[in-house]
Structure 1
Amino acid sequence: MTSAIPVVKPVSQLKLAPGSAVTIPDVSWQEFESILLELGEKRSARVAYSNSTLEIMAPLPEHERLKDLISDIVKVLLKKTHRRYEPFGSTTFKKEGSAGVEPDACFYIQNYQFMIGRRRLQPDDPPPDLAIEIDVTSKATIDAYEAIEVPEVWVYNSGKLKIYLLQDGKYLESNISPIFAEIPVTQIIPTVVERAWQVGSVQAVEELEILLSASS
């Protein structure tokens, strides 16, 4: 009788089609850290880790375009509300021993001064004030954000923007963003995104800037 011999290959050899994801259970924190090193920093795949579950996702081109567009919209809204910020893109945020996540985009706003000049995150750095995710259905991703205590997460999916606010360690959906309390972002962002598919991202953002200037 022959016994099965497990085949072990580096995670970096995974070939994920755009838009696909793989879930790996029973991953220890040490294994997660090793996988991050193996994958390296110059990669398109995104990772999320929580409750010993690792997810690796390969984004579609549409995903990348939306990520950049919504980031540009946020920058316009921050300029409109006269606030400075530090963008940290898809930086890997971790809570030692339990969770890790890479936003599609994120911003330090209230804590922007604290993060000026940061080339690497330090253990005592706060989480970003706003994280943005495109087309997320992953529980591991949301659980990771809760563990890291990101106060506000936006999820854009199927033409709708949902706002999640951290309250007592759990996310609750809200119609209003505390960061942009006077701006109906759940209406503005889907409208600008749809417009961008028609006329291009640059023109859509320029039109938003003109609209905001006219309303001031």
Structure 2
Amino acid sequence: MQLALKQIVVAPGHQVLLKDISWQEFETILDELGERRAAKISYSNGMLEIMVPLPEHEKDKEIIGELARILLDALQIDFEPFGSTTLKNEKMTQAVEPDTCFYIKNYQAVIGKNRLDLTVEPPPDLAIEIDITSRTQFENYQRLGVPELWRYTRRGLEISLLQDGEYIESSFSPNFPGIPIIEIINQRVKQNLSVGRSQVIREFRTWVMENLDISKI
């Protein structure tokens, strides 16, 4: 007897692993899951992971993504946000869904795109993963060539930069030169737990104007 995918229930904070999944089967599963879903996926060489995040995961994702967007706008850096869109490359048999991602240096390559095929388009310049209960798939991102990966864990933000095909931990972000990103993210995510999103964003906009000499955000 063969189970339909819709019969599989994954509790928040848990994963299901499916092995020996062909690329065609993977594409079929993506279509069946649909775009409006709570689950995230990663795929590597026939191994498919389906994960449903916890609510705290979603709150951290939203606040960190919003902080990054505020900084990019304030610094007048052109970018294209792609959220948790599926990053996939059939030739590499790799696919992953970040919590959010941004095209910055390569933003012009994806203007007007609704879906990404990394056999054609470049990978995003920055991907962000909230790693509260799951393990970030470094191999996926390495093989897809994502140059900068932020990973937020219970210990705080970690920045990894791709060098010679391997991720090296860094204390700074090349996309935000001269800005203490790790300190900012850790402080604001923690603050979000006590005062809420609205106050965090208002205070952060004030901090940006005062510290980056930006007259208008």
TM-score, normalised by the number of residues in structure 2: 0.91
2:56 to 36, 51, 62: 62
Deviation of the 1:159 alpha carbon = 4.3
* Aligned partners of 1:48 and 1:100 also within 8 Å: yes
Match of 1:117 among 89, 112, 115: 112
Establish whether residue 30 from structure 1 lines up as the match of residue 24 from structure 2: yes
Structure 2 CA distance, aligned partners of 1:10 and 1:166? 38
Cα offsets for 1:128-169 (capped at 9, x unmatched): 111000016536x21111111111110001040001111111
Structure-2 separation of matches of 1:178 and 1:36: 33
One-letter amino acid of the structure 1 residue matched with residue 103 of structure 2: Y
Structure 2: distance between partners of 1:29 and 1:16: 22
Q: Letter of the aligned partner of 1:127 in structure 2? A: P
The sequence identity of aligned pairs, in percent, is 47
Q: Radius of gyration: which is bigger?
A: 1
- Partners of 2:88 and 2:121 lie apart in 1 by 11
The residue number in structure 2 matching 1:192 is 188
Name the CA distance, whole Å, in 2 between partners of 1:12 and 1:41.
14
- Deviation at 1:120? 2.7
Output the aligned Cα RMSD: 1.5
Within the candidate set 206, 209, 212, 1:210 is matched to: 206
Question: Are 1:154 and 2:150 counterparts?
Answer: yes
Determine helix, strand or coil for the equivalent of 1:178.
coil
- Tell me the amino acid that sits aligned with residue 176 of structure 1: F
1:1-216 aligned at under 5 Å gives the runs: 7-97=1-91, 98-122=93-117, 123-135=119-131, 137-138=134-135, 141-215=137-211, 216=213
Secondary structure, aligned partner of 2:160: strand
Contact residue 85 and residue 108 of structure 1 kept, 8 A? yes
Which residue identity is paired with 1:104? D
Provide the rounded CA distance (Å) in 1 between the counterparts of 2:153 and 2:35: 26
Q: Secondary structure at the match of 2:175?
A: helix
Q: CA deviation at 1:114?
A: 2.1
Give the Cα–Cα distance (whole angstroms) in 2 for the partners of residues 101 and 150 of structure 1: 11
Matched position secondary structure for 1:180: coil
CA distance in structure 1 between the partners assigned to 2:139 and 2:64 by the alignment: 23
CA–CA separation in structure 2 for the residues paired with 1:159 and 1:194 = 11
Moved over 3 A (4+): none
CA contact (8 A) 2:159 2:172 kept: yes
Count of paired positions: 209
Q: Which runs of 5+ in 2 are unaligned?
A: none
Q: Structure 1: how far apart are the matches of 2:52 and 2:180? A: 31
